Amino acid sequence: MKRTHHCNELRSHDDGQTVTLAGWVHSSRDLGGVIFIDVRDREGRTQTVFDPSSLPKETFDRAAALRGESVILVTGKVRRRPEGTNNPKIASGEVEVAAQELEILNQADVLPFPVDDPEVASKVNEELRLQHRYLDLRRPEMVRNLRLRSKVATATRVYFDEQGFLEIETPILFKSTPEGAREFLVPSRLHPGKCYALPQSPQQFKQILMVAGVERYFQLAKCFRDEDLRADRQLEFTQIDLEMSFIEREDIYNLVEGLLKRVWKTALDIDIPTPFERITFEEALNRYGIDKPDTRFGLELADFTEEFRSSGFKVFNSAVANGGVVKAINAKGMACATQGQIEAMTECAKSFGAKGLAYIKVENGEWKSPIVKFFTDAEKAALARKLSIEEGDLVLFAADQWLTACEILGKIRLYCAEVLVTQGKLAVPGDRFDFLWVVDFPLLSFDKEQNRWYSSHHPFTAPVAEDVPLLTSDPRKVRGQHYDVVVNGVELGGGSIRIHQPEVQKVVFEQVLQIPPETVKARFGYMLEAFRYGCPPHGGIALGFDRLIAILCGTPSIRDVIAFPKTAKGTDLMTDSPAVVEPKQLRDLHIELKAAKKP
């Protein structure tokens, strides 16, 4: 080893020892007659002192010429700092190393952005940070994120090992199964014209592992989806993926609650209460207007369908007449909303297909609204009662088909909460974690444009047993044995009990999803066959590992918890990928490019 100690190790009891530190020049203070250099490594930093009276001039001059972030090796004697010069801000602040030798391992150029000043560094343009990710990752905040990620990964592995799970790797080179997310294709050299695909998830392999008798599988699995990126979505990401045999939904709830309890304890030393609350998909939509509600605050939706069934306000009564609903929320204290905010909400509502956004402002004891003149006293009384309307409130309405109306107000609810938080009228504590299970999702959703049913989750999800007969007669009513785990309005993960009978799976593929039998055979034939040779009932779940870490780190973007993330356009600014390849490489893959090459 080149060093004897790391930079957060020396304390006053090391006084007198001769030590060697290795690290980066964090900062240097050249006072002319004496130079202080803080040497930093990933553990912390220690002050070294270069005193010309006890050093060759040549060594002193080299120390004076060091630039920030150069890598050095300093040998010297540990000593207590003189009275009154301790630095309480750093853990090694009671001592310093009186340098005797200096080896410059790598003289750094002037940096493109500062890494020593956390105030400035955290504000640096992300483009620049990604271009020089190796510098960005030196920042303490990023080091903390990487460490926490590693710790949680280890805690996860230990937990699953304790629970009797096997960690099993599944192939990265898989087969295209174009249901669902767009896939990355990998052309085969050995098989001209054929392609592998990178897995969107190890779903099919893990189910096959259950048929194989593994019983309990888990993996920190890399997944790939060629879809547009977001703050919480990358082209490649990591899932805590697991599958178990001979279980029911309750077993998964229990297992995952145990995992998250362990993770929160390990990462944040927080005891989260279990079991988690459960809410049905229908109730989540009815109360919060979204299937992943943030339950840290109220602002719940209320239903007024019956009250407005024969209302004098045509927009409402016709919505009900068409089988829709009338719903409203009370944004407490938001009567002062600006015209701009009302417009922003209206735009949001319109993006869901609403024609407008009706509202009532309660100001100076008066209901100010373009529509309140259509309301009867009974209607007003119902509103006032169900929404506990008070001075200063803002009531917002949606009248539409059930799902649409709920979703509109769900968005509005989040928008209002954000505004109220910035105005200090609503507290949403960042250190509070509201976990819940969302259950009883509809197994199927209807695609109006393509005029067919599609799986809400994925086609392997088992229907609730008593709903199986409805599969072909009334698909809308079939509930899936699907569950999502949600925290603070973030979908942490989802899974289901799977279909383990080949004939049910076949009905779902061919009769419900209307996939032609030959396509089913080509894509999923091996699964249906496997299910015929002794398939245990099984189920599982996958948790977004990057999202999980981001929540624990308190950052809104998973880029902050991934060492080398891609930009919103899917490029890597450090390596400049994706990039043009050599014609020979394409020839080997039997590929001819049509698109114009960009240099």
Partner RNA sequence: GGGGGUGUAGCUCAAUUGGUUAGAGCGCUGCCCUGUCACGGCAGAGGUUACGGGUUCGAGCCCCGCCACUCCCGCCA
Structure tokens at 46: 């220690």
Q: Using CB under 7 A, which of 147, 182, 314, 385 touches RNA?
A: 182
Is the separation of the CB atoms in 144 and 553 below 8 Å?
yes
Work out which of 9, 17, 30, 280 binds RNA, going by CB under 7 A: 30
Q: Which stretch binds RNA (CB under 7 A): 275-283, 367-375, 377-385, 568-576?
A: 568-576
Q: Which of residues 123-152 bind RNA (CB under 7 A)?
A: 123-128, 130
Find out whether 345 and 396 touch, Cβ atoms under 8 Å. yes
Q: Does 292 bind RNA (CB under 7 A)?
A: no
Q: Among 479, 520, 559, 562, indicate the residue that binds RNA (CB under 7 A).
A: 559
92 makes contact with RNA (CB under 7 A)? no
- Residue among 377, 279, 373, 372 at smallest CA distance from 328: 372
Residue where the block lists tokens 């100001």? 363
Locate all alpha helices (DSSP H) within 230-370, ordered by sequence.
Answer: 249-268, 281-288, 314-321, 339-351
> Which ranges of 81-139 would DSSP assign to H, the alpha helix?
118-121, 126-131, 133-136
Nearest to 327 by CA among 306, 309, 304, 311: 304
Binding of residue 573 to RNA (CB under 7 A): yes
- The least distance separating RNA from the CB of residue 369, rounded to whole angstroms, comes to 27
451 binds RNA (CB under 7 A): no
Residue 455 near RNA by CB under 7 A: yes
- Contact flag: residue 551 with RNA (CB under 7 A): no
Residue 459 near RNA by CB under 7 A: yes
CB of 33 to RNA, least distance (A): 2
Q: How far apart are CA 337 and CA 511, in angstroms?
A: 51
Contacts of 116 (CB under 8 A, 6+ apart): 26, 27, 68, 69
Q: Which CB sits closer to RNA, 130 or 210?
A: 130
Q: Are 234 and 176 spatial neighbours (Cβ–Cβ below 8 Å)?
A: no
CB 84 → RNA: shortest distance, Å?
A: 7
Tell which positions 218-277 bind RNA, by CB under 7 A.
Answer: 225, 227-233
| Range in contact with RNA (rule: CB under 7 A) among 55-63, 172-180, 417-425, 582-590 | 172-180
Q: Which stretch binds RNA (CB under 7 A): 121-129, 155-163, 246-254, 469-477?
A: 121-129
The answer to the question of residue 113 lying near RNA (CB under 7 A) is yes
Residue 96 or 307 having the CB closest to RNA = 96
Spatial contact of 164 and 50, defined as CB atoms under 8 Å apart: no
Residue 568 within binding range of RNA, rule CB under 7 A: yes
By beta-carbon proximity to RNA, the closer residue of 330 and 481 is 481
CA angle 222, 226, 228 (to 5 degrees): 115
Nearest of 459, 552, 536 to residue 501 by alpha carbon = 536
Q: How many residues does the chain have?
A: 599
Round to whole Å and give the CA distance between 225 and 356: 35
Which residue do the tokens 């989260």 mark?
272
- Residue 489 touches RNA, criterion: CB under 7 A: no
**How far apart, in whole angstroms, are the C-alpha atoms of residue 317 and residue 376?**
13
**Binding residue (CB under 7 A) for RNA from 3, 42, 62, 81:** 81
Binding track, positions 39-68, relative to RNA; x by CB under 7 A: --------x-x-xxx-------------xx
Residue carrying the six token digits 């809104």 = 556
Instruction: Give, in degrees to the nearest 5, the angle at Cα 67 between 62 and 71.
Output: 80
Closest to RNA by CB, 70 or 266: 70
CA 586 to the chain's CA centroid: 36
The only residue of 112, 171, 192, 273 in contact with RNA, by rule CB under 7 A: 112
Exactly one of 107, 176, 401, 567 binds RNA (CB under 7 A); which one?
567
Number of residues engaging RNA in binding (CB under 7 A): 71
Interface with RNA, residue 338, by CB under 7 A: no
Q: Does 595 bind RNA (CB under 7 A)?
A: no
* 188 touches RNA by CB under 7 A: no
> Is residue 458 at the binding interface for RNA, with CB under 7 A as the rule?
yes
